[in-house]
Structure 1
């Protein structure tokens, strides 16, 4: 929480952070950004493989294990809007370097954690600092590349995101075998140091022309609303959607979040100064549609992989490492397609590319659900996974381009924060919804329960496709 009396001290601390260093070509700066973007994406998936070793080593309870992942996801999602505005206020390079410093130090704390509570706390700090990094990557790309070259850059950015998801389970499994679970956090240290040096030297130090103001009440209200909503959705299944402690229940937490969100939106409309979330963002139809489609995409991804991983391990007998490796071809293809789609969106309609991606993703998820049967070979499921991978790749970069192409520079940071927030909230909702559907279907066979759970991501994909339908056509801006 940032109160008015603390703001001058905070601003002095942020402004004192060094950002000097010669800037280089936009392409070199893009690759410097991608080093850190890869690292924070990797940490969202790499820990899953190490959970059994963490539990044994730290004598962690099942609830502790849940919070090792949930703390990162919760603290990543909640401050994204604020982080985007901090980039507008102090310059995205400075906030990016602060986040990268904190993330690297938090990774060291995770590696040295002597107990589960300490590890959970360090993971929370990782999430907070990752939230400082993520919006700045998108914001810097918008500032560095003109509209006619931005699609190609966003394609590289999307490809790196896909590659990090593919590498997480496999790299995590290899590191755990060779170096134990602490190694999955120690690997961030050299990546973080190299990424920091590259970013300090190569990123341009863009500064806002206008001295933006922070919105302390907006920060408090948005933080309370998102914390309550994300916690309620993520933890509902853990508490059986009932009592959390004393009179506090998941329902009351969600209602509190909804009330705080309503008050937050009211305040953003009536704030006489500069709101945390400029509501004029949503006057841009393309941004609103892209943000909604991004939330649907996040829900689809959050809902797709939970039942798939459970089915591969419980019904087909795959180890966690083998189950993760089975998705590598899908993510590798997704990464390649993301780069190609980004490049193509400079000369073709990004709306058509994103729509085609949603159609292919729907075909992949639906055919996967239809093919599931006891004892089926992963080879039989691979074509569906590959089609889904192509769809994921075609959606990512064009959606980001649709969201930011027509915005004025003063709104880019806020737009990046909102766009990333909708993806994270969608992911939390998708994971929770498929968890409920899995439990509801357990009265039948495991296969039928998985098929029922996969209905949610398929429906979310259709919502994303509908959102693409209301995007105003954007004329290609160049020949690439």
Structure 2
């Protein structure tokens, strides 16, 4: 076993490159599956003879379990070992991906997607946490920057890769590709990545009192996941009963979290008005983005007649702009404060979505699609890095990891609800996605709705977000090359780690 001690690895060492390889592969699997599956949805529906609800659940089953369990996944890594939980999550994710690729019908595909989300909730928090724990303090920022850059490049080409797979070997390879990636990732992690966890019982983790002997909030996690699932089911299947029960379970979740000695979601963190405001902005932004990316790939393929490869390629400008310019955006926000970027960013995104209304039958990419993607990308560039930095600056240092996890989960919940609600609000029926004229009409109704939600987010930012100290609002390395469109970057919190 070729392992160095936690906190002693250098980026330039061979073991450092192995650690970066396995963490990039692990995070890339989860990151890609959050984006590339949308490109495959029309072909999945065609091959499995599925209605719109199956396509919604194919996207949402993954987001449901990921959003509901991501905070618990980070806590499990802290307690039982970050490498151990990361490896378990990677294996789980790969097995679930294999089941997705072999699914003979929509029901089994949805179940496998939910299992994929569980695996992603285990490996996603651990990927960056392993880097923070493994590398020497002098090399951590550089290591995170390399990890972020490689992961960002992977996310940028994700929709293109998904489209190529769908048009080539078939949509099932969108999922099956994860199996060989995991086959490389797991042995490297076991051989080269040192184990780490929070201080063993009897001590406390720096900045996180009592972290070593906290109990797991299984009841809270269960109530939260059930509430999300029932609300989502109520919206997708137009079930009032399910929706009402989901809302009641949401109330029960808040009640339990308020009374739990060690809650998964400590409500006291929302005492920070800045933190609450930023999460409201996050909900608005990522709800609009979730609905947009779900419907836009359908619009491009069904209405505009693009192939899956062309539709995936059409999304590249947005992610490439984020990859190239997020760092500069973070530095600008550090100088002028987050209020203006968090107001202008959503407004630019709203403009980009309204420009997509020009995309109809036989749409020209250069004339109709590209301007919308560029404006949307500039909006994302403007807001993502300042949003993440402000979230982390709005709470005590010891709660940075928790704050980042909550913000990341809020973004995923927003996308989940949007994918469930937007087709209903725009009047889409079970077979609308197969009918170009009906889908085009629904798309024309949906884009202004997304734009309105973004305007609301901009208003919240303008009226509630306040400037934070420059050193607190510094753009973290993981923000500089970030280009995922489903959630803001996840920060594991403090850098102090101890061996098992």
Q: TM-score, normalised by structure 1?
A: 0.78
How many pairs align?
A: 446
Rounded Cα–Cα distance in structure 2 between residues aligned with 1:138 and 1:304: 28
Provide the alpha-carbon RMSD of the alignment.
3.9
Indicate yes or no: 2:215 matched with 1:216.
no
- Secondary structure class of the residue paired with 1:179: coil
Rounded Cα–Cα distance in structure 1 between residues aligned with 2:20 and 2:276: 26
Contact 1:49 1:320 in 2 (8 A): yes
Rounded Cα–Cα distance in structure 1 between residues aligned with 2:465 and 2:134: 25
Rounded Cα–Cα distance in structure 1 between residues aligned with 2:135 and 2:386: 15
The residue that corresponds to 1:125 in the other structure is 115
The residue that corresponds to 2:466 in the other structure is 472
The residue that corresponds to 2:279 in the other structure is 291
The residue that corresponds to 2:198 in the other structure is 207
The residue that corresponds to 1:454 in the other structure is 447
Cα 1:306/1:56, change in 2 over 3 Å: closer
Cα offset, 1:318, TM superposition: 1.8
Instruction: Report Cα offsets for 1:141-164 as digits up to 9, x if no partner.
Output: 787999999999888777667655
Instruction: Report Cα offsets for 1:350-373 as digits up to 9, x if no partner.
Output: 44444342232233223443x456
The residue that corresponds to 1:9 in the other structure is none
Indicate yes or no: 2:421 matched with 1:429.
no
Contact 2:167 2:307 in 1 (8 A): no
Counterparts of residues 96-135 of structure 1 (less than 5 Å): 96-113=86-103, 116-135=106-125
Cα 1:309/1:55, change in 2 over 3 Å: closer
The residue that corresponds to 1:38 in the other structure is 28
1:379 aligns with one of 366, 373, 392:
366
| Structure 1 gap segments, 5+ residues each | 1-17, 242-249
Cα offset, 1:295, TM superposition: 1.4
The residue that corresponds to 2:310 in the other structure is 322
Contact 2:134 2:194 in 1 (8 A): no
Moved more, 470-479 or 273-282: 470-479
1:275 aligns with one of 252, 260, 263:
263
Moved more, 254-263 or 193-202: 193-202
Indicate yes or no: 2:411 matched with 1:418.
no
The residue that corresponds to 1:6 in the other structure is none
Cα offset, 1:388, TM superposition: 0.7
Contact 2:39 2:297 in 1 (8 A): no
Indicate yes or no: 2:462 matched with 1:463.
no
Rounded Cα–Cα distance in structure 2 between residues aligned with 1:426 and 1:287: 17
Rounded Cα–Cα distance in structure 1 between residues aligned with 2:469 and 2:171: 49
Rounded Cα–Cα distance in structure 2 between residues aligned with 1:129 and 1:281: 27
Contact 1:82 1:417 in 2 (8 A): no
Rounded Cα–Cα distance in structure 2 between residues aligned with 1:183 and 1:146: 38
The residue that corresponds to 2:497 in the other structure is none
- Secondary structure class of the residue paired with 1:274: coil
Contact 2:60 2:419 in 1 (8 A): no
Contact 2:327 2:475 in 1 (8 A): no
Cα offset, 1:408, TM superposition: 4.1
The residue that corresponds to 1:5 in the other structure is none
Rounded Cα–Cα distance in structure 1 between residues aligned with 2:456 and 2:133: 30
Contact 1:111 1:186 in 2 (8 A): yes
Cα offset, 1:40, TM superposition: 0.9
Contact 2:386 2:475 in 1 (8 A): no
- Secondary structure class of the residue paired with 1:454: helix
Contact 1:218 1:275 in 2 (8 A): yes
Cα 1:153/1:25, change in 2 over 3 Å: closer
Contact 1:151 1:343 in 2 (8 A): no
Rounded Cα–Cα distance in structure 2 between residues aligned with 1:120 and 1:323: 23
The residue that corresponds to 2:382 in the other structure is 394
Contact 1:219 1:276 in 2 (8 A): yes
Cα offset, 1:116, TM superposition: 4.9
Cα offset, 1:128, TM superposition: 1.0
Instruction: Report Cα offsets for 1:178-232 as digits up to 9, x if no partner.
Output: 4334432232123224444555535772415222112233233223222222333
Cα offset, 1:56, TM superposition: 6.7
Cα offset, 1:137, TM superposition: 4.6
Contact 1:170 1:324 in 2 (8 A): yes
